[in-house]
Structure 1
Amino acid sequence: MKISLNKQSILLLSVNGLFVLAGALSGTFLNVYLWKSRQDYSMIGWFTISQQLALGLTFWVAGKWVKEHNKMNALRMGTAVTGLFYLLVLWAGKEAVNYIWPLGILLGTALGLFWLAFNVVYFEVTDAGNRDLFNGWVGLLGSVTGIAGPLLSGWIISRLEDDQGYRIIFTISLVIYGVSVLLSFFLKKRKAQGTYEWLEPFRRLGRQGDPWRAAVPGLFAQGLREGVFSFLIYLLVYVATTQESKLGQFSFITSAVGLGSFWLAGKWFKPGYRYKGMLIGSVLLVLVILPMLWQVSYSTLLIWGIGTSLFMPLYILPMVSAGFDLMGASASNVEKRVELVVLRELSLMAGRIAGTLVFIGVVSYSRTPSALTWVLVVLGCAPLLSWFYMRQLLNPRYRREGSK
């Protein structure tokens, strides 16, 4: 039977694509923009932590709004507030580094609103049969925007004096966020169902035999890597080259590779391949970091970027799909899908904060290239931990028995 996506799934992908495009245009260079004002790794780390704290708290608090009221308004609000964040960065200019915490909290709140609503709607418009296909398309669109956005931004920034280029790309992002809000009105209003249970995410951890007790540490391990890699790699590319155009080139090359790998994964990667595929992907993601033990340069960073783009689908698709399959494993889980989306994000948030705190602790002691490299190597091994905790949930036999 041919697996396909319905119109609502395609529309949701379009909204997601515009949101990610705006982030690719400006978000890729946001930390570089802050770095040029104050060259402080710890400052960038605390900016990341402020975002994650706000994002996790927003998921938990806004869960009531999303479950009991209009989740589409939460999605639109998240998009609009993200645009507001870039408007404030434009207004603050170089003084933005003095407002790391309020700006980080605002951005985290905006992202929390958008991704909470997106994840719930994503669960509702997909099923276990087409979820890998949908995730493959999400990765594909992310790669396309990763090709176009940073390359265009790097080209604009490198050809204009002072901060004019940054102001232009932040403004373009504002417009795209506005278009994304308008497009979201074509998504169907989805019925609110049930009452939000504030403590359900925490109750799951105390239930013997609950599969979320395996999923949560797996997600925590995923967050360990994401928290630091989401900002440090791009920053290291800029530090190594001091050229925004090189950063755009780096993103162009790695995203072009990711375009092909996610397209192939979306087409051929089936649920039955998740167990072995994720293990192979996790090992390969660790191996591509090792060249940086000898030298952190544009070349070794590019080796890492290309390798990661090639092998990431093997790792991330099973992680995402297995987690959302748990939400549909029973009628009770489906009823509590909002609380389970919150649990998933809180687990990722805890991992991201823990990984970033490790990074801040290391750079507070030593800022040598070798210290930064070892942070990358140690946290880069986290995918193996994710597989270790998730391996039972990825096993085809477990999924067949769990669906009975």
Structure 2
Amino acid sequence: MLKSLEHLTGKVEINRDLIFLLVIGGLYSLGIFLSNTFVNIYLWKQSGDYITIAVYNLGIYLFQPIMFILAGKIAKKIDRVIVLRLGVTFLSLFFLSVLMIGEKASTYNFLLGSVLGIGYGFYWLAYNVLTFEITEPETRDFFNGFLGVLQSFGGMIGPVLAGVIIAKMTDNIGYTTIFTVSFILFICAVACSFFLNRRQAEGNFYFKRILIERHHNKSWRKILHAHVVQGLREGIFAFVIAIWVFLVTKSELSLGMFNLVLSGLSFVFYFVATKFIKPSLRKKAILLGGLLLYFSIFIILFHISYFNLIIYAIVIGIAYPIINVPYASLTYDVIGKAWRAKDLRVEYIVVRELFVNIGRVISILIFLISVSLFQAEKIIPVLLVVLGIGHLLIYFFVKDIYLGSSRKKQVLIKEQLTDEKNR
């Protein structure tokens, strides 16, 4: 198998760890995309309450950065593979918990969100670090490209398949089925992690030092502020749009088709954006993508219909690649030129994740306070307009970042591809 892959990649040497890391990434993508959107709908059908869904997502965004910090410390002290295994194990426990709790899941919304946030934190910290360590410059194109295909496949097929399963089965049997499949996929991912070679950690964890570095490095400070406003949009758009699609159509299959349109267009336009958005055009592209994302809100603001929602999916499916490709590249360039970036890349990744989740938590808290004081149907459109400006504000933080000439950097496709959180 390895020889066949080497032939396909122009005889570039492909090692066993790289293949198993790809398999784990593929299993993760399919498992998450199959079920993650529908957890929000599952909780909504039990509670019919926006606050329940918001508190579930708050649990995710509170625990994800905390676990990123803990995972970063463990990754520097013990082993990156163990951290990855912990992440996949907690993701498995999340779906097992949903299955065991069943129709009382909405009662334990914060607990479920917390478990999922823990899983995300451990998984993504380890996966990002292992990607840097396992891939080499000559294998990185193959890894990024193949992982992008696997993630796109999961993003397009998973939600539609889940929608079909739920639509064909009565009561909550469909939900039980897709949660069970996701649980099995993550168990398989845990099993695959045992085939990865152990990677001995070294060095101390300088999280506080990199946090303070924003006071010494203006570019690092600006990019972190950009990640906070990015999180403002992502916080409530993570669940509101999915609920609106379900409320309009009363169909999980329609929600699956919505995600198919979004993920399919994003997949195509990420490759288009990667080819045509040169470094000199990055800031203009960030501004254009931010404008498209913000004004897409007005497509569904005054009249919500499934047709308008599909048009909205088309627009954001195009807009996210336009902003994310140059934004991710700029972020990695800022980190690459920062103090001791080679030795402390784990810490830079952790701090970046902390700031984007600060924005998400602020967004959720504003949402919870607002729907507690005002009627949800009236205040939510206002919140979408106010908080939805987050990605547009990114431009105003990055427009004055100048790094000088630099070598072309690899931007991981997994960082570019949209997921259900970024609507």
Report the TM-score, using the length of structure 2 for normalisation. Answer: 0.85
Shift of the alpha carbon at 1:365?
A: 2.8
Matched, 1:205 2:214: yes
CA displacement, residues 267-314 of structure 1 (integer Å, 9 cap, x when unaligned): 444444322222211111112221223212222221111111112111
Equivalent residue runs for 1:320-335 within 5 Å: 320-329=328-337, 332-335=340-343
CA RMSD in angstroms, aligned pairs only: 2.8
Instruction: Give the structure 1 partner of residue 254 of structure 2.
Output: 246
Q: 1:100 to 1:293 in 2, by over 3 A?
A: closer
Equivalent residue runs for 1:1-400 within 5 Å: 12-124=21-133, 141-207=150-216, 209-329=217-337, 332-393=340-401, 395=402, 397=404, 399=406
Q: 1:377 to 1:222 in 2, by over 3 A?
A: same
Aligned residues of 1:140 and 1:262 also touching (Cα < 8 A): no
Q: 1:283 to 1:14 in 2, by over 3 A?
A: farther
Which moved further from structure 2: 181-190 or 235-244? 181-190
Read off the aligned partner of 1:282 and give its amino acid letter: G
Read off the aligned partner of 1:87 and give its amino acid letter: L
Shift of the alpha carbon at 1:94?
A: 0.9
Aligned residues of 2:62 and 2:117 also touching (Cα < 8 A): yes
> Structure 2 CA distance, aligned partners of 1:102 and 1:320?
32
Q: 1:274 to 1:132 in 2, by over 3 A?
A: farther
Q: 1:158 to 1:5 in 2, by over 3 A?
A: farther
Instruction: Give the structure 1 partner of residue 6 of structure 2.
Output: none
Shift of the alpha carbon at 1:92?
A: 0.5
Shift of the alpha carbon at 1:133?
A: 9.1
Which moved further from structure 2: 9-18 or 37-46? 9-18
Q: 1:275 to 1:127 in 2, by over 3 A?
A: farther
> Structure 1 CA distance, aligned partners of 2:354 and 2:137?
23
- How many residue pairs are counted as aligned between the two chains? 398
Shift of the alpha carbon at 1:376?
A: 1.7
> Structure 1 CA distance, aligned partners of 2:381 and 2:137?
38
Aligned residues of 1:326 and 1:333 also touching (Cα < 8 A): no
Shift of the alpha carbon at 1:328?
A: 2.7
Q: Which runs of 5+ in 2 are unaligned?
A: 1-9, 408-423
> Structure 2 CA distance, aligned partners of 1:136 and 1:200?
34
Which moved further from structure 2: 211-220 or 180-189? 180-189
Aligned residues of 2:261 and 2:317 also touching (Cα < 8 A): no
> Structure 2 CA distance, aligned partners of 1:179 and 1:5?
26
Read off the aligned partner of 1:361 and give its amino acid letter: I
Which moved further from structure 2: 87-96 or 227-236? 227-236
Shift of the alpha carbon at 1:11?
A: 5.2
Q: 1:270 to 1:161 in 2, by over 3 A?
A: same
Percent identical among aligned pairs is: 35
Aligned residues of 2:86 and 2:119 also touching (Cα < 8 A): yes
> Structure 2 CA distance, aligned partners of 1:133 and 1:291?
38
> Structure 2 CA distance, aligned partners of 1:371 and 1:133?
47
Dislocated runs of 4+, deviation >6 Å: 126-137
> Structure 1 CA distance, aligned partners of 2:322 and 2:18?
22
Shift of the alpha carbon at 1:124?
A: 4.0
Q: Which runs of 5+ in 1 are unaligned?
A: none
> Structure 2 CA distance, aligned partners of 1:205 and 1:83?
36
Aligned residues of 1:293 and 1:374 also touching (Cα < 8 A): no
Read off the aligned partner of 1:92 and give its amino acid letter: I
Aligned residues of 1:131 and 1:321 also touching (Cα < 8 A): no
Shift of the alpha carbon at 1:247?
A: 0.9
Read off the aligned partner of 1:100 and give its amino acid letter: N
> Structure 2 CA distance, aligned partners of 1:183 and 1:189?
13
Shift of the alpha carbon at 1:126?
A: 6.3
Shift of the alpha carbon at 1:13?
A: 4.3
CA displacement, residues 34-71 of structure 1 (integer Å, 9 cap, x when unaligned): 11110110111111111111111111122110112101
Q: 1:5 to 1:171 in 2, by over 3 A?
A: farther
CA displacement, residues 135-174 of structure 1 (integer Å, 9 cap, x when unaligned): 6766554332121111111111111111100111011101
Which moved further from structure 2: 55-64 or 358-367? 358-367
Read off the aligned partner of 2:174 and give its amino acid letter: G
> Structure 2 CA distance, aligned partners of 1:5 and 1:324?
26
Aligned residues of 1:153 and 1:248 also touching (Cα < 8 A): yes
Shift of the alpha carbon at 1:75?
A: 0.9
Read off the aligned partner of 2:212 and give its amino acid letter: R
Q: 1:5 to 1:215 in 2, by over 3 A?
A: farther
